[in-house]
A and B are shown apart, each in its own frame.
Chain A
Amino acid sequence: MLVNLDPNDGRPLYLQIMDEVRRAIVAGTLRAEDPLPSVRELAAELVVNPRTVSQAYQELEREGVVYVQRGQGTFVSPSVRRGAGERRRTLAREVAKRALLEARRNGLDAEELVTAIQKLAAGEVKTHE
């Protein structure tokens, strides 16, 4: 699993780590029963406070996305096979939240943003331009 944090993202780091785990599960790079990196490994890799990683893992455990095997580590829950739809919706909501925040910063309202996204998705504009 590759985790990327965005220093310009105004949200707390633990939320960003949670999003990255959800993203990896939706993308299929993390599957049921796969181990997550240890708190120590991920903290050192991202140069973040280990408590931040622990907090992200605890929240994910509370949501049932991962489970903790004492002394073994943290693993992706078998239930992710079932909850795929819900997880996609959660991830979409977080992506939308970021986009909406950015739109507001630029003085745009939600409607203008949605219209622009629909046009992009309809292929009228190339997305990677």
Chain B
Amino acid sequence: MSEAFAVATHGLSMRYGSEPALDGVDLRVPEGAVYILIGPNGAGKSTAMKVLLNLERPHAGRAEVFGLDTASRGPEVRAQVGYVAEQHEHDYGWMTCGRLIRHAAAYYPSWDHTYAAHLVDVFGVRLNRKVGTLSKGEARRLQFVLALAHRPPLLLLDEPADGLDPVVRNRAFAQLAGHLADTPTTVVIATHHIHEVESLADHVGVLREARLVAQMTRDELRRTVVRYRLEVPEGWQPPPELRTATLRRSRAGREVQWTLVGEPDEVTARLAGAGATVRDVTPLALEEAALAFLAEEGAA
């Protein structure tokens, strides 16, 4: 059986002026996944989300959400998506929060009024406040209510914790975890604050300078991106075939710490064959493993 993708992009490319924002990106987000899209500011995370919502047009390639082409079926796609944008829109600044919520409720046939009231409570949204006067954190909390209350099959969360204090942040992610237990949902979270969502993620993508440099399941990342501690002889040179797999390397005396991507048995055999003694192999936290792709040095 072929896997069903909630999100699939094919050679997605996009430029702002001469700067590439996305360069041949092939995202694959299986249905039901919690996919965390990692990368520094400006790596293309927000642009990718905007293309999925047809808020930006790619220069090349295409994107599908639940098999619908995002460029030609934009409204149908947007009806199935809950979106927490990085920047909060001021289009409805004159409305009160309560009015905006009623406005959204009329737009989404699947709007769950009881749940919306519960979310307003959980996120402490003050209904009589004008949207335009909200602080960044208050706007974020309102965005969460609007994104979750229609129980969309796809959630796109762009730096969702931005502006939230630690207590509300934890409450927001706890709410999200509970939401996933109640509602079949695919989630894409773009962030550079990995540790906050690490325990929710089961798929990982890493964007670096507009390119998708890694995409795999959390389990595969855990298995194949690990740190080797080696004891090496004086003047030891790493075998050339491992240089392309190198993510990070540090050396102190005869000890080398090396983060490599590859099947650990195979890598260990190669290292041993090259005269290094493998002292230990350590699995990495998601943040460490993902950051290793961003600090790449070996791949020329």
Contacts and interface: CB of A to CB of B under 8 A. Distances in A.
Given A47-B199, A49-B200, A51-B202, 10 more contacts: A43-B177, A43-B178, A44-B181, A46-B177, A47-B170, A48-B199, A49-B177, A49-B199, A105-B280, A107-B279
Given A47-B174, A107-B279, A13 B199 contact: yes
Q: Which 4 A-B pairs have the closest CB atoms?
A: A10-B283, A40-B181, A50-B181, A44-B178
Interface string A23-54: 00000000000000011100111111111100
Nearest to A105: B280
Given A43-B177, A104-B280, A10 B182 contact: no
Given A40-B182, A105-B280, A50 B177 contact: yes
A6 to B, nearest CB: 11
A47 B280 contact: no
Nearest to B199: A48
Interface of A: 5, 7-8, 10-13, 38-40, 43-52, 104-105, 107
A10 B199 contact: no
Nearest to B222: A12
A47 B202 contact: no
Contacts of B182: 40
Interface string B217-253: 0010010000001000000000000000000000000
Interface of B: 32, 34, 170, 173-175, 177-178, 180-182, 195, 198-202, 219, 222, 229, 279-280, 282-285
Q: Give the interface centre of A13, A40, A49, A51 by most chain B CB atoms within 10 Å.
A: A49
Given A10-B285, A50-B181, A44 B280 contact: no
B90 to A, nearest CB: 31
Contacts of A5: 199
Nearest to B197: A47
A102 to B, nearest CB: 10
B239 to A, nearest CB: 24
Contact of B200 (A40, A47, A104, A107): A47
Contacts of B201: 49
A19 B174 CA distance: 22
A13 B181 CA distance: 17
Contacts of A12: 219, 222
Contacts of B181: 38-40, 43-44, 50
Given A10-B283, A104-B280, A105-B280, A50 B174 contact: no
A44 B198 contact: no
Contacts of A46: 177, 199
A46 B170 CA distance: 10
Contacts of A43: 177-178, 180-181
Contacts of B282: 10, 105
A50 B184 CA distance: 11
A52 B181 CA distance: 11
Contacts of A44: 174-175, 177-178, 181
B202 A49 contact: yes
Contact of B177 (A47, A104, A107): A47
A128 B283 CA distance: 28
A49 B180 contact: yes
A107 B255 CA distance: 11
A25 B25 CA distance: 48
A91 B116 CA distance: 43
